Structure 1
Amino acid sequence: MPSVVAINISTKKGVAKQSISEANFVENFGIEGDAHGGNWHRQVSLLGQESIDKIKAMGMDDLDSGSFAENITTEGIELYSLPIGTKLAIGETLHEVTQIGKECHQRCAIFHTVGDCVMPREGIFTKVLKAGKVVPGDKIEIL
C-alpha cells in the first residue's frame, strides 16, 4: 500500500524543505506555512522515495526527504504515471493531480547542491480538494 514517508515545508521557494511531524492541509491552498501554498494548480508537490534513491545511487548519499523541495515524500507509488485529474486520498485529505513534472527555467539551489534534479521528470503536483491533517505513515489511496 502506498504511503507517506515524510512531509516537508519551507518558507521560501527554490530551496530544500525541512521535514515536519504533521501538516495541516488547507482546501484550495496547500500546506499551512509552506511557501508554495496559494490559489493555483501547484499547491502540493510529491516525489517518490524511489526517485530520490536513484540520485542517491549516483553518489549523492546525503540526500533526505525534502532535498528536492517536495512537500510529500511517498513510497510504493509511481507518481509520474498517474494521469492528470487522478484523485488521491492522503491521510484525512483529498487531492487532485494537476501537473506531472515541471520545466526548470533556472538551476535552483537544489540542482547546484545535488548536481541533478529528478523533480522536473518524476515529481507531481496536486491541488487540495479536502482539508485535513497528514502525518508520515499515512496511506495513499488512488481513487
Structure 2
Amino acid sequence: MAKIIAISISEKKGQKKHNIPEAELLTDFGMAGDAHAGKWHRQISLLGIQSIDLMRAKGADVNPGDFAENITVEGLVLYELPVGTKLNVGDGIVLEVTQIGKECHSGCEIQKQVGSCIMPTQGIFARVLTGGKIRVGDEVTVSND
C-alpha cells in the first residue's frame, strides 16, 4: 500500500519547506498556505521516498521536503506514472499528474553536494481535481478512471 510519509510547505518562494502533519488541498489551486499554489499546472509537487534514498546513497544529507516537494510518498514509483494519471489520496482527494520532472535552478544545493539531482527526472507535479484534508499516513492509489 502506498502512503504519504511527509507533507511539506513553504509560505514564501525560495524558502526551504518544512514538514507539517496535515494540510488542506484546495480544488484547482493547491495546498492552502503554500507559496507555489495557484491556478496553474504545478499546484502540488510529489516525490517518492525511494528517490530521496537514492540521493542519500550518493552522500547527500537530504530528508522529505528538501527537494521542495509538497508530498512525499512511500510504495509507489511516481515518475513512472504518465501525465494524465489520476491519484486518489486519503478520503476523496483526487490529483491529476500534469508534469514529470523539472529543471533545477542554477543554485541547486543538492546538485552542488553530489553532482546530480533527482527532480529533473523523478519529481512529479499535479493539479488538485478534488480537494480536502490530507494527513501523513493517508493512502495513495492510482485511479482506474
- For residues 89-120 of structure 1, the C-alpha deviation after alignment (integer angstroms, 9 at most, x for no partner) is 11131100000001235233554466532111
- For residues 50-90 of structure 1, the C-alpha deviation after alignment (integer angstroms, 9 at most, x for no partner) is 00000101122x32110110000001111111011000011
Please report the TM-score for the alignment, with normalisation by the length of structure 2: 0.90
Q: Structure 1's 135 and 113: CA in aligned 2 closer, same or farther, altered over 3 A?
A: farther
For 2:139 and 2:38, locate their aligned partners in 1 and report how far apart those are by CA, in whole Å. 25
- For residues 13-47 of structure 1, the C-alpha deviation after alignment (integer angstroms, 9 at most, x for no partner) is 34431000100000001000101100000000000
Q: What's the Cα RMSD here?
A: 1.6
For 1:51 and 1:118, locate their aligned partners in 2 and report how far apart those are by CA, in whole Å. 7
2:26 alignment partner in structure 1: 26
Q: Which moved more, 1:37-46 or 1:8-17?
A: 8-17
For 1:34 and 1:86, locate their aligned partners in 2 and report how far apart those are by CA, in whole Å. 23
1:108 alignment partner in structure 2: 108
For 1:12 and 1:139, locate their aligned partners in 2 and report how far apart those are by CA, in whole Å. 28
Q: Which moved more, 1:34-43 or 1:98-107?
A: 98-107
Identity of paired residues, percent? Answer: 54
For 1:35 and 1:109, locate their aligned partners in 2 and report how far apart those are by CA, in whole Å. 20
What are structure 1's unaligned runs of at least 5 residues? none
What are structure 2's unaligned runs of at least 5 residues? none
For 1:26 and 1:113, locate their aligned partners in 2 and report how far apart those are by CA, in whole Å. 35
2:139 alignment partner in structure 1: 139
- Structure 1 residue matching 2:128: 3-state secondary structure: strand
For 1:83 and 1:41, locate their aligned partners in 2 and report how far apart those are by CA, in whole Å. 15
